[in-house]
Chain A
Amino acid sequence: MPEITINDITFEVPEGTNLIQAARKVGIDIPHFCYHPGLSVVGSCRMCQVELEQGDRKWIDLACSNSARDGLIVRTNTPEIKERVKATLEFLLMNHPTDCPICDDAGECKLQNYYMLHGLYDNRLTVDKWHKPKLHPVGPTVVLDSERCVLCSRCVRFCDEIWGERQLGIFGHGSNEVLINYPDKDLNNPYAGNVVDLCPVGALLDRDFRHKRRVWYLKSAQSICPQCSRGCNIYVHFDEDHDYKGEGRRVQRIKPRVNMAVNRWWICDRGRYGYHFIDAEERATDPMVNGEAVDWDMALARATELIKSKIKKPGPNSVAFLMAPIASNEDAYRALKLFRDTLKFANIGYDIPVSETLEKDQVLMTDDPYPNRRGFKDLGFGSVVNPFEAGEIVDEIKAGKIKGLVVSGTDLEGLVGENVEALTSKLEWLIVVSHDQNRLWQKATVALPMATYVEREGTFTNIKGTVQKFEKAIEPIGQAMPQWEIWQNLAKRFNTRWLYEDTKAVYDAMAQGKPEYETLNWQGTFGITHGMYPDNW
Chain B
Amino acid sequence: MPEYKLVSKNYEFPDQRLLKAALYRGGYEQWKRVIKEKTSPQAIIDEVKTAKLRGQGGAGFPAGVKWGFVPKDSPKPKYLCVNADEGEPGTFKDRTILEKDPHLLLEGIAIACYAVGIHTAFIYMRGEFYEPQAIVQQAIDDAKKEGLLGKNILGSGFDLDVIIHMGAGAYICGEETALLNSLEGLKGWPRLKPPFPAVIGAFACPTVVNNVETISCVPHIMRMGGEAFQQVGTEKDGGTKLFAVSGFVEKPGVYEMPLGTSLKELIYDVCGGVKDGKQLKGVIPGGSSSPILKPDEIDVPLEFEAMAEAGTMLGSGAVIVLDETVSIPQIFMVMSRFYAHESCGQCTPCREGCTWIYKISEKILAGDGKPEDLDTILSLAPMMNGTTVCPLGAAMAIPVMAMVEKYRDDFLALMKN
Contacts and interface: CB of A to CB of B under 8 A. Distances in A.
- Say if A and B assemble together: yes
Interface stretch (B155-163, B338-346, B407-415): B338-346
Place the interface of chain B in its size category. 20 to 34
B388 interface: yes
B376 interface: yes
A217 interface: no
Interface stretch (B139-147, B245-253, B263-271, B350-358): B350-358
Nearest to B379: A87
Interface in B316-346: 340-346
B35 interface: no
A88 B348 contact: yes
B192 A91 contact: no
A156 to B, nearest CB: 10
Nearest to A84: B387
A47 B363 CA distance: 29
Contacts of A7: none
Contacts of B192: 41-43, 62, 65
A170 interface: yes
Contacts of A173: 170, 172, 341-345
A124 B378 CA distance: 13
A50 to B, nearest CB: 12
A151 interface: yes
A68 to B, nearest CB: 16
A419 interface: no
Nearest to B363: A127
B68 to A, nearest CB: 22
A64 to B, nearest CB: 9
Contacts of A174: 340-345, 351, 354-355
Contacts of B18: none
Contacts of A91: 348-349, 351-353, 356, 383
Contacts, number: 97
A172 B170 CA distance: 11
Contacts of B359: 127-128
Interface in A83-104: 83-84, 87-88, 91-92, 94-95
A168 B354 CA distance: 25
A151 B351 contact: yes
A177 interface: yes
B373 interface: yes
A92 B343 contact: no
Nearest to A59: B386
Contacts of B389: 43-44, 46
A150 B352 CA distance: 10
B380 interface: yes
8 contacts: A46-B348, A88-B348, A92-B352, A125-B356, A126-B376, A150-B348, A174-B355, A175-B352
Interface of A: 41-47, 49, 60, 62, 65, 83-84, 87-88, 91-92, 94-95, 124-128, 130, 150-151, 169-170, 172-177
Given A44-B346, A62-B192, A88-B383, 10 more contacts: A42-B346, A44-B389, A45-B348, A46-B387, A127-B356, A151-B348, A173-B343, A173-B344, A174-B343, A174-B351
